[in-house]
Amino acid sequence: MTSKSHSLRRILIAASTTIIAFPTFISFPSTAVAASSNSGIAMYRMYNRNSGEHFYTRNGAERDMLRTKGWKYEGVGWYAPSSGAPVYRLYNRNAGDHHYTQNSAERDMLVRVGWKYEGIGWYSGGSIPVYRQYNRRARRGSHNYTTNKAENNMLVQAGWKAEGIGWYATGLGHGAGNNVPTEYRNALAKAKEYNSFAHFSKKRLYEQLTSPYGEQFSTAAAQYAVDNLKADYKANALVKAKDYSRNAHMSKEGIYDQLVSEYGEQFTSAEARYAVENLKADYNANALATARSYQDQHLSKASIYEQLIFEKFTSAQAQYAIDHLN
């Protein structure tokens, strides 16, 4: 079995009443890279060359939107836990500047003087300090946050004030481009590979990359991969929909349920709806094929009709099937 051919050791698909479940994963020969010490939610670091502001977000869509506006993506600043002590995000409408703090008293003081509270940006936790620096002379971008002690020291030497530890992270960050760790690049390469033939949803791809029965990448590497993969998940959902129509003879709503189910494909509702609305399927023919399979199990026509309705064929499609059974 060669990695080039990507022969599968197994793909187990367990059928339930209406959802085809995927409890296991596509397995390959054991060539997994050792897990990274980084784990948690990637916190993206952006830089505005015009204002000098650094901006931090865990939202990949927000990151990508800012890139279209001219912001420079500088990579992952750090990795944050999924829960813990909240770090608050505030916005100054007049200066166009953001501020982040774990201190609720500081948050409340800024709100009183006109800053907009934008909610919890992320959480603090772990053992890695995120250092906070302040530039007294800057109108915008007056604060910087980094896990890099050398960056902290360099800014202090340049006149910034060291304000100590802002919060804690679960993993160190990394730069964009060539500074991305090898494991992260490998995870992205594997994600591209799966996208070319397996047509996974984003959630199923992440599970495949992290599963002990799949690729065994760290959660941080897998998150980097799915966040940076240029995938058309609507197109992937449509490919899957075609497969279910052709091979499982499902109804339109049955296919939709399969695409969104947490036990099935795990596409978003928008991706699944796009797929079924753009699928060119003969649902009368699907209903008839399904009816014949039940007829082979010696069901009565009345029982077959009820089963077709249960599988979300329309009454017209179910009646067409019954009328065309031998």
Q: Per the confidence metrics, is the pTM higher than 0.85? A: no
Say how far apart CA 44 and CA 173 lie, in whole Å.
Answer: 9
In this predicted structure, what is the pLDDT of residue 73?
87
> According to DSSP H, which parts of 37-181 are helical?
60-68, 104-112, 149-157
Fold match, 14-36+181-231 / 236-323? yes
Q: What are φ and ψ of residue 248, in 5° steps? A: -110, -5
In this predicted structure, what is the pLDDT of residue 19?
54
Q: Where are the domains of the chain?
A: 14-36+181-231, 41-174, 236-323
Angle (CA) 72-64-166 rounded to 5° is 65
Average pLDDT per consecutive 10 residues, the chain (326 residues; last block may be shorter): 31 36 44 40 86 86 90 88 93 87 94 94 91 81 82 84 92 65 85 94 93 85 83 96 96 97 95 97 97 95 96 97 94
Radius of gyration of the chain, Cα coordinates, nearest whole angstrom: 26
In this predicted structure, what is the pLDDT of residue 266?
96
In this predicted structure, what is the pLDDT of residue 151?
80
Closest-CA residue to 250 (of 285, 274, 278):
285
In this predicted structure, what is the pLDDT of residue 286?
97
Find the helix or strand (DSSP H, E) in which 37 lies.
none
CATH classification for the domain delimited by 236-323, as one of 1.10.10.10, 3.40.50.300, 2.40.50.70, 1.10.10.60: 1.10.10.10
Domain 14-36+181-231 CATH class label: mainly alpha
